[in-house]
Amino acid sequence: MQNKRTHIVVVGSTNTDLVVRTPNLPAPGETVLGGTFSVVSGGKGANQAVAAARMGGKVSLIARIGDDDFGRRSAAGFTQDGIDTTYLFVTPNAASGVALIAVSETTGENSIVVAPGANALLSPEDVQAAEAAFDTARAVVLSLEVPLETIQRAAEMGAKRQIPVILNPAPARRLPARLLSLISVLTPNETEARQIVGMGAANEEADLETIATELLMQGVDTAVITLGAAGALIVTPDGIERAPALAVKAVDTVGAGDCFTGALAVELASGRSLRDAVQFAGAAAALKVTRLGAQTGIPARSEVEELLARR
């Protein structure tokens, strides 16, 4: 039975997603006539916080919103999910973050452009102000839609307390060694993993095991590379292991990686093994992709447990 008191601190972004479903994603310079439009709560940090809360975690979110309708809507959603908003800072002179998202009706794949707004103003001082939350946390979850120096401070505070620090490295970039040295588990997708190690589009011939080995050489302690329908690759100094995915019909992959990371954090913080935590997180993400919306599509813990029991 999940420990409802497992405390997770999430530091990251909160956005409002403006989503258009379309028969196919546009190529550069192409205009595509889309279909249904929807407004959905999103943002990597917020998605991860909601996922962790729905998996049974006690979640504190450290983030910034604007003093606008989008920000108020986001805050109300967090309260509804039981997330602690003590450290959800309101920025009067900035807009809340917004993401423009096109989702393919055929594959569920997506294309996203983010206007950070208040997310870009989340500071190391904001993280420091939340020190009391870190003192009782069992894991820290981070992503890269807020300033890197802020993520660095949060990683330092988590590592100082010897609790798992989990980084979902998106949007992807090359990361400083001093940050990687503080990360317990890195959760990139394949594209992000390639970009982190400098084996991107110009080096597509590099296989996953080569990329995984390079991640370890760059100072990563443990990585879980998510591969969508192909499952995940668990990378540790002891070796590389594939974790299969559950077969589902994907309708919307937006937020799937965030759902995976939030669920993984709760399981690791509760003392589950890495392999078991990856299996559980994979099932949570599998359910998410069968549903529309970044946060609206995140399942409850009972649904994930039921899926695993059936499979």
Closest C-alpha among 36, 88, 287, 145 to residue 77: 88
Written as one string, the DSSP assignment of 163-181 is: --EEEE--S-----HHHHT
Radius of gyration of the chain (CA): 18
- In the set 84, 126, 252, 258, the catalytic residue is 258
Distance (Å, whole) CA 88 – CA 60: 9
Q: Is the peptide bond before 171 cis (omega within 30 degrees of 0)?
A: yes
CB atoms within 10 A of CB 301: 18
Nearest to 50, CA basis, from 107, 105, 10? 10
258 assigned to active site: yes
Which strands sit side by side in the sheet containing 58-66, from one edge to the other?
A: 88-91, 58-66, 7-11, 139-143, 165-168, 185-186, 223-226, 232-236, 239-243
For residues 274 and 294, give the distance between their C-alpha atoms in angstroms, rounded to a whole number: 25
State the sign of the Cα–Cα–Cα–Cα dihedral 95, 98, 100, 105.
negative
Provide the strand spans (E) within 125-237: 139-143, 165-168, 185-186, 223-226, 232-236
Residue 55 CA to residue 123 CA, distance in Å, equals 28
Q: Which residues are part of the catalytic machinery?
A: 258
